[in-house]
């Protein structure tokens, strides 16, 4: 009898817990897995106490270690990132602090940067002043769930940052938060293509008519798979995604390896000029550094035919992420941002284009130290994809391509997407962006700068050297 009563009480408790967790919106894992989800939190808590005995230290996970991920999680939740006792990190570089740092009353906010010029060859009718040096890098609608895109859009609005669409076209979810948007055109030109896959000027004009769409980005490549177009497995191509991309439901959506109409720097300039003329808005190019002659060729062309000069270049490191990419390209092709960025900024300077072309850097720059490093190396902006995925609750399950992401971030199954509440997660997205900016400011102040706009290569120094390491300051920096 007693056993029956205990069993009924336990069962009732489980049912109540199940219903409660299904209804709450704060913890995606518990919403999607109301009972077994507790094991994740239990194992996490236990891990803290077992740290001294465990076999996997906090810095050993890849691609992002637990130190990096928990920095993002804590920031997104608004929890303190203060640490005790000492650092577990072994940084490859450090910042050179000033003997006399900046006083609180001497601090200045970063006041924004204009992208695009209003006069002269290559001018656009509507240059864009971006108010944040840290923004959301493109992840296509389809690679991300509709709820994730909604949360990013709303969070970006709160934080006053831009959000790039990725190559899957512009979806209503991108627009719903009211944030500034960068419309990306991948090699398949989803969202702006005609029936043959060529650029449709009418569709481009229609998208440019949205005030929220502030810039256009021509994607040559992304770090995870240079030389390979977007890959959206058929299992993720739902009716909604198929409609936005203009493709059949359930079939793999594979973009060409290259824009068919862009095969050299002359054609690249012509395409940039065409898009800017039609849209009246700044146009950038996303690429991965590899061929050592490319930058000099391109910048020489920009000087010869300035009407085709991009307003910004977005350099993605070979360590960049993707919803789906061949392992060989992901592992072995494309320079890491640590090597690429200093080369790109040096080439821009060599050709006298520093005031003309803005540089956006991406590639595992998800914590304030890495963001500040990129600013020291000459980047005007930093963008991140996976940092913002973590702020949405991504647990690095590495299941993006299957459509079965347990946190709803990259899922295509509605039962899993339902766990991600866009309102709650929007707040986290905004908090993460704000914390990054605050902590980058703090590093700048420690270096004796009033704001992060003053960062130079001499403010950072390398500790570990070698291929893929962070660059040491050069003579004349
Ligand atoms: C799920 C996912 C989807 C992505 N989709 C695109 C895309 O459509 N277009 C693009 O240019 N880059 C795409 N990327 C690459 C990111 O925009 C970014 O350049 C790269 O991941 C480096 O930033 P991170 O290290 O902060 O993630 C994607 C990345 C991820 C993780």
pLDDT in tens, 441-458: 999 999 999 999 999 999
Check whether residue 8 and residue 141 sit in a common domain. Answer: no
Q: Which of 34, 55, 76 is the last residue of a domain?
A: 55
pLDDT for residue 52: 61
Q: How far is the CA of 363 from the centre of ligand 1 (A)?
A: 9
Q: How far is the CA of 44 from the centre of ligand 1 (A)?
A: 28
What pLDDT score was predicted for residue 253? 86
The per-residue pLDDT for 230 is 84
Strand partners, 291: none
Q: Is the peptide bond before 433 cis (omega within 30 degrees of 0)?
A: no
Q: Which residue has a Cα nearest atom 4 of ligand 1?
A: 139
Q: Is residue 470 part of a domain?
A: no
Mean per-residue pLDDT, 91-109? 94
Across 333-346, average pLDDT = 97
Q: Examine the domain organization and report whether 36 and 148 are in the same domain.
A: no
Within-domain flag for 398: yes
51, 126: one domain: no
Q: What is the pLDDT of residue 204?
A: 98
- Of 141, 154, 281, 157, which is closest to residue 209 (Cα–Cα)? 281
My answer on whether 305 and 453 are in the same domain is yes
Least confident of 242-256, 378-392, 431-445: 242-256
Are 164 and 43 in a shared domain? no
134-173, pLDDT tens digit by residue? Answer: 999 999 999 999 999 999 999 999 999 999 999 999 999 9
pLDDT (0 to 100) of residue 240: 87
101-111 burial: b if 16+ Cβ within 10 Å, else e: ebeeeeeeebe
Q: What is the CATH number of the domain that holds 178?
A: 3.20.20.70
CA of 313 to the centre of ligand 1 (A): 15
User: What sections of 311-419 are H helices per DSSP?
Assistant: 327-332, 337-350, 368-376, 386-391, 414-417
Mean pLDDT computed over 408-415? 95
DSSP tag of 165: -
- How confident is the prediction for the chain on average, in pLDDT? 93
Residue 314 domain boundaries: 113-462
Structural contact between residues 161 and 136, judged by C-beta atoms closer than 8 angstroms:
yes
Q: Is residue 471 part of a domain?
A: no
Residue 154 within a domain? yes
CA–CA dist 115, 43 (Å, integer):
46
What's the number of domains the chain is made of?
2
Tens of pLDDT, residue by residue over 102-117, are 999 999 999 999 999 9
Pocket test for ligand 1, best of 144, 236, 320 (most atoms within 8 A of CB): 320
Q: Which atom of ligand 1 is nearest the CA belonging to 168?
A: 8
Judged by phi (left if over 0) then psi (alpha if -120 to 50, else beta), residue 408 lies in left
Q: Which range among 148-152, 241-245, 339-343 shows the weakest confidence by mean pLDDT?
A: 241-245
Single residue among 55, 70, 98 that ends a domain in this structure: 55
Cα of 165 vs centre of ligand 1, distance in Å, is: 10
Nearest CA to ligand 1 atom 20: 320
pLDDT, tens only, 285-310: 999 999 999 999 999 999 999 999 99
Cα 201 to Cα 193: distance, rounded to the nearest angstrom: 8
Going by the DSSP 8-state scheme, the letter that residue 103 receives in this structure is: P
pLDDT band at 87 (very low <50, low <70, confident <90, very high): confident
Least confident of 172-186, 226-240, 330-344, 364-378: 226-240
Predicted local confidence at residue 307, as pLDDT: 98
pLDDT more than 90, % of the chain: 80
Residues 123 and 46 in one domain: no
Residue with the nearest Cα to atom 9 of ligand 1?
Answer: 166
Could you tell me the pLDDT band of residue 467, with boundaries at 50, 70 and 90? very low
Q: Are 239 and 381 found together in one domain?
A: yes
Which pLDDT score, from 0 to 100, does residue 466 have?
Answer: 46
Mean pLDDT across the stretch 335-340? Answer: 97
Contacts of 475 (CB under 8 A, 6+ apart): none
Say what the pLDDT of residue 164 is: 98
Amino acid 73: pLDDT: 97
Tell me whether residue 75 is in a domain. no
Note whether 208 and 281 are within 8 A (CB). Answer: yes
The residue among 55, 82, 101 that closes a domain is: 55
Cis peptide before 63 (omega within 30 of 0): yes
For residue 48, pLDDT beyond 90: no
So what's the pLDDT on residue 39?
Answer: 85
Same domain flag for 367 and 240: yes
Tokens of 275: 């898009």
Answer yes or no: are the C-beta atoms of 391 and 72 closer than 8 Å.
yes
In the block, residue with structure tokens 């800017």: 276
Pocket probe mutation, ligand 1, options 63, 135, 136, 137, max atoms within 8 Å of Cβ: 137
What gap in Å lies between CA 236 and CA 233, rounded to an integer? 6
Q: Give yes or no for a contact between 145 and 412, defined as CB atoms under 8 angstroms apart.
A: yes
pLDDT on residue 195? 86
Give the rounded percent of residues in the chain with a pLDDT score beyond 70.
Answer: 95
Measured between alpha carbons, how far is 109 from 452 in angstroms, rounded to an integer? 8
Q: Binning pLDDT at 50, 70 and 90, where does residue 246 land?
A: confident
pLDDT of residue 88: 82
28 plus 150 within the same structural domain? no
Give the Å distance between the CA of 166 and the centre of ligand 1: 7
Kindly state whether residues 117 and 10 are assigned to the same domain. no
185 close to 216: Cβ distance less than 8 angstroms: yes
Distance CA 402, CA 436 (A): 31
On whether both 216 and 335 belong to a single domain, the answer is yes
Q: Answer yes or no: is pLDDT of 470 > 70.
A: no
Residue 273 lies in a domain: yes
Find the DSSP H helices in 180-293: 201-208, 239-245, 265-279
29 is written with which tokens?
């894992």
Mutate to test the pocket of ligand 1, among 63, 71, 139 (most ligand atoms within 8 A of CB): 139
Classify residue 61 by its DSSP letter: -
Q: Is residue 189 part of a domain?
A: yes
Q: Is residue 334 in some structural domain?
A: yes
d(CA 22, CA 35): 10
Tell me the pTM: 0.92
Residue 143 CA to ligand 1 center (angstroms) comes to 10
Please state, in angstroms and rounded to a whole number, the distance separating the CA atoms of residues 232 and 230. 7
Clarify whether residues 49 and 117 are in a common domain: no
Give the distance (Å) from ligand 1 centre to CA of residue 441. Answer: 26
Q: How far is the centre of ligand 1, averaged over its atoms, from the C-alpha of 139 (Å)? A: 5
Ligand 1 neighbours by CB, cut-off 6 Å:
137-140, 143, 166-167, 184, 219, 222-223, 230, 286, 316, 320-323, 362-364, 366, 384-387, 400, 410
CA of 285 relative to ligand 1 center, distance in Å: 14
């Amino acid at each position: 009898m007693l056993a029956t009563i205990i069993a009924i009480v336990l069962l009732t408790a489980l049912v109540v817990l199940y219903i409660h967790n299904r209804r709450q919106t704060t913890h995606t894992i518990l919403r999607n897995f109301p009972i077994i989800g507790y094991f994740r939190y239990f194992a996490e808590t236990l891990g803290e106490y077992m740290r001294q005995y465990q076999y996997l230290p906090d810095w050993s996970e890849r691609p992002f270690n637990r130190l990096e991920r928990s920095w993002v999680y804590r920031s997104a939740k608004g929890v303190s990132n203060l640490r005790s006792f000492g650092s577990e990190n072994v940084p490859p570089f450090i910042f050179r602090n000033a003997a006399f740092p900046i006083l609180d009353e001497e601090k200045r906010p970063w006041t924004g940067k204009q992208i695009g010029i209003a006069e002269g060859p290559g001018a656009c009718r509507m240059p864009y002043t971006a108010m944040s040096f840290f923004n959301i890098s493109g992840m296509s609608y389809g690679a991300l769930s509709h709820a994730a895109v909604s949360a990013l859009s709303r969070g970006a609005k709160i934080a006053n940052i831009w959000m790039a669409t990725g190559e899957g076209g512009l979806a209503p979810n991108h627009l719903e938060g009211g944030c500034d948007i960068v419309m990306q055109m991948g090699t398949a030109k989803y969202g702006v293509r005609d029936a043959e896959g060529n650029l449709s000027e009418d569709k481009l004009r229609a998208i440019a008519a949205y005030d929220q769409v502030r810039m256009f980005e021509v994607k040559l490549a992304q770090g995870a798979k240079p030389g390979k177009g977007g890959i959206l497995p058929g299992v993720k191509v739902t009716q909604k995604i198929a409609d936005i991309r203009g493709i059949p439901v359930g079939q793999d959506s594979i973009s060409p390896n290259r824009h068919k109409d862009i095969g050299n720097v002359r054609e690249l300039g012509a395409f940039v000029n065409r898009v800017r003329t039609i849209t009246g808005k700044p146009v950038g190019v996303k690429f991965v550094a590899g061929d050592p002659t490319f930058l000099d060729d391109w910048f020489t062309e920009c000087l010869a035919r300035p009407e085709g000069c991009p307003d910004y270049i977005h350099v993605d490191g070979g360590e960049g992420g993707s919803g789906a990419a061949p392992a060989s390209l992901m592992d072995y092709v494309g320079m890491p941002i640590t090597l690429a960025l200093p080369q790109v900024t040096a080439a821009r300077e060599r050709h006298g284009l520093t005031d003309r072309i803005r540089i956006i850097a991406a590639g595992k720059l998800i914590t304030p130290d890495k963001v500040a490093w990129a600013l020291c190396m000459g980047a005007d902006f930093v963008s991140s994809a996976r940092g913002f995925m973590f702020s949405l609750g991504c647990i690095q399950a590495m299941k993006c391509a299957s459509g079965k992401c347990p946190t709803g971030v990259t899922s295509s199954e509605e039962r899993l997407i339902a766990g991600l509440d866009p309102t709650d997660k929007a707040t986290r997205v905004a908090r993460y962006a704000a914390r990054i900016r605050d902590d980058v400011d703090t590093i700048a102040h420690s270096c004796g700068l009033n704001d992060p706009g003053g960062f130079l290569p001499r403010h950072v120094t390398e500790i570990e050297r070698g291929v893929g390491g962070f660059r040491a300051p050069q003579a004349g920096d």
